[in-house]
Structure 1
Amino acid sequence: MKDLLSGAAEILRRLEEEGREAVLVGGVVRDLLCGFPPCDADIASDAPLPVLASLFPSGRLLGPEGMQVFLLPFGEGYCEVFPFPRGGLKDDLARRDFTVNALALRRTGELVGSRRALADIAARVLRFNGSAAERLEEDPLRALRLARFAAVLPGFAPDPVGIRECREARPSLEKCAHERVGREIRLAMEGNPRIFLETVKACGLLDALFPGMPAREFGFSGLCRIQEGLAREGAPLEVRAAALFSVPRSGGFRPDDGPSRAEETLLAWKWPARSASEAAELARYRRLPLEAPDPERMAALLEARGGAFMDSLFLLSRQYCAGEPHFRRWSENRALYVSMAVRALRDDVLPSGGEIMEKYSLAPGPILGELAAAVKLRRLHPGLGSKEDAFRFLETLLRQSRP
């Protein structure tokens, strides 16, 4: 935080030396007043973008024409610098989304903004800045940001009037870029997902974001409970995303369509392809740890996806345990997986490709790859005690493959 603030102060100082007005604005001011560590900083200035580019060669312009900002990295965070709107700082603050973000801080320490903004920060209230209808008309995504801020800002709660106005306005998120929608959801799911989902539902946006999501209280409460449990255990974002697509849906969705829907939706939201694939596969195999132990299937999945995936899978599946039989199956499968994970460390029992070729006079080709893959699985289950055991297993396979 110190590096970020010192970097931001240096930008302010440099702009002031050029005779420009420049202030910290928005979330960084809110976080400083709340005692939260800011991870990035926004600076508003009367300096045009070409001037910013000439003053700070290490920065770069981002965004479409007419909506560009100037990005300057500092340590693990960054500063965004953008020009004031036509009406200057006063107009900038008036057009911000929520009162708690409608504050500016000068390098002198002077706060600029309304008493309402300061009062809402003290009371931890998320209130639209001015007319909610106008703010939502300017950017429908602000309804989703309301839910995101409620989920990630400790102790903050939306103003009930704002919730009602969102529900009445029914802002269409179809007008928003999918990448922006996906970013808000990703950030919200890293906070308190239960608060996020409950706020989204209260704002009337649940079906627009997650078509077929169970809206009835029992199904929705179950989903919130699962998400709350995953958050409490510090589950990775991909696990939380998988849970969104692992609950039986309303509207005729089949239980097994979750994986394809997960990957399709997350990619549309511009989540990283690796995260989308991971969430989809977690949704696909979520029931495996609750079924009768299947060592061959478990070994194949561990070999294909790795230990980190398996840990995430068991973390996810435990949230779906319903009663003692499920917990017993989960424990049996977990013990089976742990045994396999330990055996996976025994590289000393695996013959190399060259050793297999020399032992059985084989040439490079598909058969060699098949034998190497088979012995790797055999190492996981039922296990190999030595390299000699591996060769005996390979000899059995070769005899069986001969006509």
Structure 2
Amino acid sequence: MAASGATDKTIDAAWLKGGALPRLLAALDTNGEEARAVGGAVRNALLAEPVHEIDVATTAMPDEVTRRVTAAGFKAVPTGIAHGTVTVVIDGAPYEVTTLRKDVETFGRHATVEFGRDWEGDAHRRDFTINALSVTRDGKVHDYTGGLADLGDRRIRFIGEAKARIEEDYLRILRFFRFHATYGAGEPDAEGVAACIAARAGLAQLSRERVRTEMMKLLAARRAVPALQVMAEIGLLLDVIGGVPNVVHAARMAELEQALALPADPVRRLAALAVVVAEDAERLWQRLRLANKEYERLAGMAEGWRRISPDLSGQAQRVLIYRLGPELFADQALLGFARAQAQANDAAWQALATLPQRWSAPAFPLKAADFIKRGVAQGPALGAALRAAESAWLAADFPSDAAAVGRIADQAAKS
């Protein structure tokens, strides 16, 4: 077994002390076998970032993992036995437990691996130094790749030769920029950037679904804009989105979200970056295999961002919320705001963009029965009367009193 890589760094995290994880580690970390929490949970704990999932690595073979966790009363699910992974379900929460591995032959995502007991070798299989840290159940951190120093510097660095790591999986090009946008600071690692430039043709080999997942995560990251700027400068964004990116507008969208205390929205940021007309939304839908809901939002923003502005009357703004719904209204308003020659603190634009937070459109108060009892026959005439009444109700700015609504119904029934 390789050197321990133990450091004087420790983690004092609640998930190491209580809950399901200590019970899982206790079952695996005994009788000649060792188990540790690895990867993102360790990284995020050291950065005081939220920990959403915890992965475990172990020297035990998959069948031994299954035997031990089953004996402990946990559920073992063979989700990736060929790659050494067993998903262990404890109290309804899943934990991926993977046997230590080493590469025998690498060719993209389909590398041939062998199981082993070498913690250092397993760490060197990972992508970035900050993702190769592990922690024992007593909180001791192990670092074989310089990840602790890189965490301190907020630097995203490939393990070993950047070119070799990328050739193992070209998605690591996008992951490099996504992790820099999420955890990095300053300029991205120069060797990493150079390797991404040299290997960018490999992006064409990736499934559109994998590219979409990485891009959406990148767009939502706290430092998405600087990362997008570098990607645009070196030509990567053009390859990904299939069109000329506008990072200035994406930066404006991020600025507006901050000014209005809105959460980062990757779909709005993608629209600001790459959608001007409906054809842009269609291209991104196909190129990134977007979800239908994501495409519909992009198409809706492309259709209406030019027409919406604070110059609209209050009544016209409310009619748009009624017609579009609050989400699409806010999408169009924010995209229009991002492309307007206005400061982020412009009161009129801010009021427009946040109107759905302060006003909700009421339901149209008239039904078909209201016109039938006024003598309107079922069929085209009834539909025409409903449409005429709705238009009159909107023009009157959504009256709710019975008398006003009745007059609108009477007039529409006669027309």
TM above 0.5, yes or no, is yes
Distance 1:45 1:311, change over 3 A: same
Q: Tell me the alpha carbon deviations over residues 236-281 of structure 1, each in whole angstroms, 9 at most, x when there is no partner.
A: 333222212335xxxxxxx452232343345x1xx43223312321
Unpaired runs of 5+ residues, structure 1, are 248-254
Q: Tell me the alpha carbon deviations over residues 297-316 of structure 1, each in whole angstroms, 9 at most, x when there is no partner.
A: 86664334312321232222
Q: Does 1:98 align with 2:128?
A: yes
Quote the residue 1:251 is aligned against: none
Quote the residue 2:338 is aligned against: 319
**Amino acid in the other structure paired with 2:299:** A
Q: Distance in 1 between matches of 2:120 and 2:21?
A: 21
1:135 offset after TM fit, Å? 0.3
**Residues 194 and 227 in structure 1, CA contact (< 8 A), matched pair in contact too:** no
1:148 offset after TM fit, Å? 0.3
Moved more, 181-190 or 169-178: 169-178
What does 1:61-210 align with in structure 2 at a 5 Å threshold? Answer: 61-62=78-79, 66-67=82-83, 69-71=85-87, 79-85=95-101, 86=114, 87-88=116-117, 89-114=119-144, 116-153=146-183, 155=185, 158-191=188-221, 192-201=223-232, 204-210=235-241
What does 1:192-271 align with in structure 2 at a 5 Å threshold? Answer: 192-201=223-232, 204-214=235-245, 220=247, 222-232=248-258, 233=260, 234=262, 235-247=264-276, 255-266=277-288, 268=289, 271=290
What does 1:11-30 align with in structure 2 at a 5 Å threshold? Answer: 11-17=24-30, 20-30=33-43
1:172 offset after TM fit, Å? 1.3
Q: Distance in 2 between matches of 1:356 and 1:228?
A: 49
Distance 1:100 1:19, change over 3 A: same
**Amino acid in the other structure paired with 2:195:** E
Moved more, 370-379 or 385-394: 370-379
Q: Distance in 2 between matches of 1:197 and 1:153?
A: 14
1:151 offset after TM fit, Å? 1.0
Report the 3-state secondary structure (helix = DSSP H, G, I; strand = E; otherwise coil) of the residue aligned with 2:373.
helix
Quote the residue 2:394 is aligned against: 380
**Residues 96 and 102 in structure 1, CA contact (< 8 A), matched pair in contact too:** yes
Q: Does 1:39 align with 2:52?
A: yes
Q: Distance in 1 between matches of 2:31 and 2:368?
A: 67
Moved more, 114-123 or 387-396: 387-396
Q: Tell me the alpha carbon deviations over residues 137-189 of structure 1, each in whole angstroms, 9 at most, x when there is no partner.
A: 10111111110011111647521121122212335112222222111111111
Moved more, 22-31 or 110-119: 110-119
TM-score, L = length of structure 2: 0.76
**Residues 241 and 287 in structure 2, CA contact (< 8 A), matched pair in contact too:** no
TM-score, L = length of structure 1: 0.78
Q: Does 1:393 align with 2:408?
A: yes
**Residues 389 and 412 in structure 2, CA contact (< 8 A), matched pair in contact too:** no
What does 1:248-397 align with in structure 2 at a 5 Å threshold? Answer: 255-266=277-288, 268=289, 271-290=290-309, 293=312, 301-322=320-341, 341=359, 344-345=361-362, 350-360=365-375, 362-363=377-378, 368=382, 371-372=385-386, 374-383=388-397, 384=399, 386-397=401-412
1:211 offset after TM fit, Å? 1.5
CA RMSD of aligned residues (A): 3.7
Moved more, 233-242 or 126-135: 233-242
Q: Does 1:10 align with 2:23?
A: yes
Distance 1:142 1:230, change over 3 A: farther
Q: What is the count of residue pairs matched by the alignment?
A: 377
**Amino acid in the other structure paired with 1:236:** D
1:318 offset after TM fit, Å? 0.9
If each structure's helix is expressed as a fraction of its own residues, which one has the higher value?
A: 1
**Amino acid in the other structure paired with 1:143:** I
Distance 1:8 1:171, change over 3 A: farther
Quote the residue 2:105 is aligned against: none
Distance 1:125 1:331, change over 3 A: closer
Unpaired runs of 5+ residues, structure 2, are 1-12, 102-113
Moved more, 53-62 or 223-232: 53-62
Q: Distance in 1 between matches of 2:37 and 2:91?
A: 18
Q: Distance in 1 between matches of 2:257 and 2:279?
A: 24
Q: Tell me the alpha carbon deviations over residues 68-97 of structure 1, each in whole angstroms, 9 at most, x when there is no partner.
A: 744457899853322221243322201111
